[in-house]
Amino acid sequence: MMTPGMAGDLEARRMRFDEHADNYQLARPRYPAQLYDILATECGLGAGTRVVEIGAGTGQATSDLLARGARVVAIEPGAALAARLTAELGGPALTVVCGDAETAPLADGETDLVVAATSFHWVRTEAVLPRLARALTPNGWLAVWWTIFGDPTNVTDFRWDLDEVYKRRLPGERHDPTEPWGPLYTDSWTAELEQGGWFTVQRVHQIRWTYELTPDRARRLFGSFSNVMALPEADRRAFLDELAGLVAAHGGRVADPYVTVLYLARPSGHELYLARPSAQ
């Protein structure tokens, strides 16, 4: 359970992305096509699928959901990010709601698929899960995924050298690139998604892929991470300069291994939801 102080800090860190909306759009890579193939095969993503997307950002996932024929309600708390999303992807199949997943209007039983792309760690799950369970149809799905920037099963020379940069510039960060972290701890994230009994995680997929870094692309990508954005300006610039120099020292183009972790969950006991008090 999150305390008020923790919630305030979470909100402050989350809204940093809104302050850097332009860079976020340019910096973050799209998700692998295999992910959307899985959503199509296992969750029915396709023409006319009614999707609610939590924390849509500038549309890295939204655009691919629309391309698969979905009708998307994209919930984004950042006004600048929501405006960018509307400008880039606006049309009859997309509704952008500038608001929070905890309070945005969600009709009961009218959503086929709820998705959250590298955003679910920014919400209070105990508040959001019951709202999402009620919004889904009896056959609906919750699909939550993250991209892990660095594959602990495939640590390259570049990643070992990058670890040394982190030790110097971000000494409070973890320093073992072979150690799984975050959503790769599937037991803990499964428990998080199943808290309260609203959902049951059915499957977890790990999709491995590589992303080519150049000095400029690395600077933009790492500059979009919340821990780097939180650094004082001089420290942030020094970190990104050293990072760009490291990519240049590795030949100027680095194939960086990543993992996208996808959790697929179904509502638990959907027939009981309407008997429960509505989550506001």
In tens, the pLDDT along 138-197 reads 999 999 999 999 999 999 999 999 999 999 999 988 678 999 989 999 999 999 999 999
User: In angstroms, rounded to a whole number, what is the distance separating the alpha carbons of residues 214 and 20?
Assistant: 20
208: left (phi > 0), else alpha (psi -120 to 50), else beta?
Answer: beta
Collect all residues with Cβ–Cβ distance below 8 Å to 137 and sequence separation of at least 6.
109, 110, 111, 112
User: In angstroms, rounded to a whole number, what is the distance separating the alpha carbons of residues 155 and 181?
Assistant: 14
Phi, psi of 110, deg, nearest 5: -120, 10
Note the pTM of the prediction, 2 decimals: 0.86
Beta-strand runs (E) in the chain: 50-54, 71-76, 94-98, 111-117, 136-148, 199-213, 254-267
Determine the average pLDDT of the residues in 186-212.
97
Percent of the chain with pLDDT over 70: 86
* C-alpha to C-alpha distances, 239 to 46, 107, 113, 169, nearest whole angstrom: 42, 45, 39, 6
Reported confidence tier of residue 27, pLDDT bands at 50, 70, 90: confident
User: In angstroms, rounded to a whole number, what is the distance separating the alpha carbons of residues 19 and 145?
Assistant: 23
Of the candidate CATH numbers 3.20.20.450, 3.40.50.150, 3.20.80.10, 3.20.20.70, the domain formed by 4-151+179-210+256-270 belongs to: 3.40.50.150
Token pair 């989350």 is found at: 14
Other beta carbons within 10 angstroms of residue 157's beta carbon come to 9
User: In angstroms, rounded to a whole number, what is the distance separating the alpha carbons of residues 145 and 187?
Assistant: 15
Collect all residues with Cβ–Cβ distance below 8 Å to 157 and sequence separation of at least 6.
250
